[in-house]
């Protein structure tokens, strides 16, 4: 094939002119590729963009192929072969071998030319191969085309970004502004206009921002700050709408300086925070009301504590007296009645104690007194003694295993006792046969029973207030559901960690670990020393 220099120049010119740099890259690629293929009598071809930033599978992206339908296997084979080459050799090194050509099973020739840094063009020719000299003469034109595509791609990306920014500017619901150092509004987005009540057709240039300040001197203060600090965020002030109505506003401003260091203009955002301020005010009022009612509740409970405990204790005392005489003065039926009254009143007292204690904890009115407590002697033994009869009634074996009889802990004795009382009370309540074992080893206290156990699903809720595994009328065991919640709070007061292991139908073990570094030690020592 002989092509004169003049013909080559004409061809190259036509091809170059076919790239419409104002069009969409795909439209332009299609137009120029069509012309290139037809002018060069190629049966198929493609223009490919090489995006080295993309992951390996997507490095080569097809911009356009011709024909669009039924691309032949030669074309596809050539493309795959070439993609492999890029993976193996790397795009930068491979470009040095451009342009190149190879024959495909005598079906035709595949020519690959560089499109500058844009990518490459693949030309399939099934009526002979381009001579070397000719294909080399084409390369500079394709480099030029590649450069044009490259700038088109950059422009498209730029336009896309601009479009996105424009869309944000137009659609965001906070005000965006640019204001000159003199205060003239240079730019204001639609949301900003809406907030300030400025019509879309109003001329912004004649508006000065100070006319929108409730107190115009506040702007001077802002500028003073911005002279030294480039931006200010989250400033709250009051602005005035075009209609004269005041509203609270939250402003973020950045100052832009000229070469001499003077402020050229300000850019930033503002938000009408009327709703937020109203909400905050409502919240504040609600908090104050809550605190007030909490105080009332505490006072009420303190009052109730006295008012309930006194008559209940009276009932309990007189019932005890009657119980003593039950053997002689009463018959079997009376004895049962007195027992029931005593049990019910004790239960009522425990419930009142729990409610009052929980109230103290929640109101932070509980005052802990830390001291060195002999755990076995001062806490466990008296409690075991107290609960022994209850355990005996259910024929439960109650035992204590202690490896260190002189074990002492720094703790608040009242809450420590309450922890053990509640846990032991629970164990007896939920165990119908077998035994309950209390053990101390080093800083760990455990209480195990052979009771009904706790299901795995319920364990996470175990220490929540008013929780019981079975609720409503179907529950088998009485109680408020406050006990374990209080135990956990009491453990926290004593810097102890409580955990539970349980198997449904087998039994439950609660473990309490008193931490070695007791934060209350210092406080304790302080109390002791003074």
Partner 1 sequence: MIVEFEKSSKIEDFANHLQVFEENPEVQSIFILSCDGNDYTAENINKVLRNCKKPIFGGVFPQIIYEDMQYEKGTVFCGLSEKTDVHIIPNLSLPDEDYDRHLEKTINGNVEAKTIFVFVDGFAKRIASFIESLFNIFGLETNYIGGGAGSLSMKQKSCLFSNMGLIKDSAIIVHSSLVSGIGVSHGWEKISGPLKVTESDRNRVISLDWESAFNVYKNIVESHSGEKFSDKNFFELSKGYPLGITTLSNEEIIRDPVSADKDGSMTCIGEVPQDSFVSIMNGKKNSIIRAAGNALFKAKNELPEGKNIDSVFFIDCISRVLFLEGDFSKELAMVQYPGKKVFGALTIGEIANNKKDYLEFYNKTSVIGVFAE
- Can you give the binding site for partner 1, defined by CB under 8 A? 1-3, 6-7, 10-11, 13-14, 17-18, 30, 34, 37-44, 66-72, 126-127
Q: What is the 3-state secondary structure (H, E, C) of 66-134?
A: ECCCCCCHHHHHHHHHHHHHHHHHCHHHHHCCCCEEEEECCCEEEEEEEECECEEEEEEECCCCCCHHH
Taking the least distance from each CB to partner 1, the nearer of 3 and 349 is 3
Q: How far is the CB of 63 from partner 1 (least distance, A)?
A: 14
CB-based contacts of 240, cutoff 8 Å, min separation 6: 211, 212, 213, 214, 246, 247
Nearest to 116 by CA among 56, 49, 41: 49
What are the CB-based long-range contacts (under 8 Å, 24+) for 488-497? 488/463, 489/358, 489/361, 490/415, 490/416, 490/418, 490/419, 491/419, 493/366, 493/368, 493/412, 493/415, 494/409, 494/411, 494/412, 494/415, 494/416, 494/419, 494/520, 495/519, 495/520, 496/411, 496/419
Taking the least distance from each CB to partner 1, the nearer of 14 and 497 is 14
Name the 3-class secondary structure at 522: helix
Taking the least distance from each CB to partner 1, the nearer of 67 and 382 is 67
Q: How far is the CB of 83 from partner 1 (least distance, A)?
A: 21
Taking the least distance from each CB to partner 1, the nearer of 10 and 281 is 10
Q: How far is the CB of 17 from partner 1 (least distance, A)?
A: 4
Taking the least distance from each CB to partner 1, the nearer of 15 and 380 is 15
Name the 3-class secondary structure at 238: strand
The CA-CA-CA angle for residues 400, 402, 405, to 5°, reads 120
Phi, psi values for residue 69, rounded to 5°? -105, 145
Phi, psi values for residue 265, rounded to 5°? -160, 170
Q: How far is the CB of 64 from partner 1 (least distance, A)?
A: 9
Taking the least distance from each CB to partner 1, the nearer of 3 and 355 is 3
Taking the least distance from each CB to partner 1, the nearer of 29 and 383 is 29
Taking the least distance from each CB to partner 1, the nearer of 31 and 374 is 31
Q: How far is the CB of 200 from partner 1 (least distance, A)?
A: 34
Q: How far is the CB of 48 from partner 1 (least distance, A)?
A: 17
Name the 3-class secondary structure at 506: coil
Q: How far is the CB of 18 from partner 1 (least distance, A)?
A: 7
Rg (CA), the chain: 44
Report the chain's terminal Cα–Cα distance, integer Å.
111
Q: How far is the CB of 66 from partner 1 (least distance, A)?
A: 5
């Amino acid at each position: 094939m002989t092509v004169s220099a003049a013909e080559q120049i004409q061809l190259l010119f036509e091809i170059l002119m076919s790239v419409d740099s104002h069009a969409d890259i795909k439209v332009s690629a299609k137009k120029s590729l069509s012309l290139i293929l037809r002018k060069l009598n190629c049966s198929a071809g493609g223009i490919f963009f090489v995006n080295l930033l993309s992951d390996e599978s997507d490095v080569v992206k097809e911009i356009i192929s011709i024909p669009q339908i039924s691309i032949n296997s030669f074309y596809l084979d050539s493309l795959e072969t070439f993609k492999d080459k890029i993976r193996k050799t790397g795009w930068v090194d491979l470009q040095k071998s451009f342009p190149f050509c190879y024959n495909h099973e005598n079906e035709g020739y595949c020519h690959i030319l560089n499109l500058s840094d844009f990518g490459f063009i693949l030309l399939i020719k099934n009526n002979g191969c381009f001579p070397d000299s000719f294909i080399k003469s084409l390369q500079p034109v394709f480099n030029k085309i590649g450069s044009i595509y490259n700038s088109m791609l950059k422009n498209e990306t730029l336009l896309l970004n601009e479009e996105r920014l424009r869309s944000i500017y137009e659609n965001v619901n906070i005000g965006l502004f640019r204001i000159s150092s003199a205060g003239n509004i240079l730019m204001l987005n639609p949301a900003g206009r809406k907030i300030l009540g400025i019509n879309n057709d109003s001329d912004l240039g004649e508006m000065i921002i100070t006319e929108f300040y409730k107190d115009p001197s506040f702007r001077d203060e802002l500028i003073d700050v911005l002279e030294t600090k480039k931006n200010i965020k989250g400033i709250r002030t009051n602005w005035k709408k075009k209609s004269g109505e005041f509203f609270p506003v939250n402003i973020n401003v950045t100052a832009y300086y000229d070469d001499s260091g003077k402020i050229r203009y300000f850019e930033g955002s503002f938000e009408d925070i009327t709703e937020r301020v109203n909400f905050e005010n409502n919240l504040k009022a609600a908090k104050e009301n809550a605190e007030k009612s909490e105080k009332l509740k505490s006072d009420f409970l303190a009052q109730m504590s006295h008012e309930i405990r006194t008559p209940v204790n009276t009932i309990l005392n007189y019932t005890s007296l009657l119980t003593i005489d039950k053997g002689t003065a009463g018959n079997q039926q009376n004895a049962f009645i007195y027992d029931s009254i005593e049990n019910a009143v004790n239960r009522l007292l425990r419930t009142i104690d729990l409610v009052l204690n929980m109230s103290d904890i929640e109101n932070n009115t509980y005052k802990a007194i830390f001291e060195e407590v002999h755990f076995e002697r001062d806490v466990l033994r008296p409690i075991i003694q107290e609960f022994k009869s209850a355990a005996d009634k259910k024929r439960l074996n109650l035992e204590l295993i202690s490896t260190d009889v002189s074990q002492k802990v720094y703790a608040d004795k009242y809450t420590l006792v309450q922890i053990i009382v509640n846990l032991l009370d629970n164990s007896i309540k939920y165990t119908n046969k077998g035994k309950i074992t209390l053990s101390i080893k080093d800083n760990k206290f455990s209480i195990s029973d052979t009771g009904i156990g706790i299901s795995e699903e319920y364990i996470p809720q175990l220490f929540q207030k008013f929780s019981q595994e079975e609720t409503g009328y179907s529950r088998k065991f009485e109680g408020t559901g406050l006990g374990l919640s209080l135990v956990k709070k009491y453990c926290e007061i004593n810097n102890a960690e409580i955990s539970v292991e349980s198997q449904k139908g087998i039994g439950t073990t609660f473990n309490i670990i008193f931490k070695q570094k007791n934060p209350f030690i210092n406080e304790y020592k302080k109390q002791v020393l003074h």
